Amino acid sequence: MRILILSLLIAAPAIAAPKPAVPHPGAEVYQNVCQACHMANAMGAVGAGRITALARNPNLQYPEYPISVVTGGKGAMPWFRGQLTDQEIADVIDYVRGNFGNRYNKGPGGKVTAAMVAESGVAAPTRGER
What's the per-residue H, E or C state across the chain? Answer: CHHHHHHHHHHHHHHHCCCCCCCCHHHHHHHHHHHHHHCCCCCCEECCCEECCCCCCHHHCCCHHHHHHHHHCECCECCCECCECHHHHHHHHHHHHCCCCCCHHHCCCCCCCHHHHHHHCCCCCCCCCC
Q: What percent of the chain has pLDDT over 70?
A: 78
> Looking at residue 112, what is its pLDDT?
94
pLDDT reading at 27 higher than 80: yes
Is 24-120 in CATH node 3.40.50.2300? no
**Among the listed residues 98, 110, 90, the one whose alpha carbon sits nearest the alpha carbon of residue 42:** 98
Termini Cα distance of the chain: 74
> Looking at residue 105, what is its pLDDT?
84
pTM for the full model? Answer: 0.78
> Looking at residue 48, what is its pLDDT?
72
Rounded to the nearest 5°, which phi and psi values hold at 45? -160, 165
- Domain-by-domain residue ranges, the chain? 24-120
pLDDT reading at 88 higher than 80: yes
> Looking at residue 127, what is its pLDDT?
62
34-58, pLDDT tens digit by residue? Answer: 999 999 999 998 887 889 999 999 9
pLDDT reading at 12 higher than 80: no
Rounded to the nearest 5°, which phi and psi values hold at 39? 75, 160
- 23 pLDDT tier (thresholds 50, 70, 90): confident
Query: Rounded CA gap, 44 and 49, in Å?
Result: 10
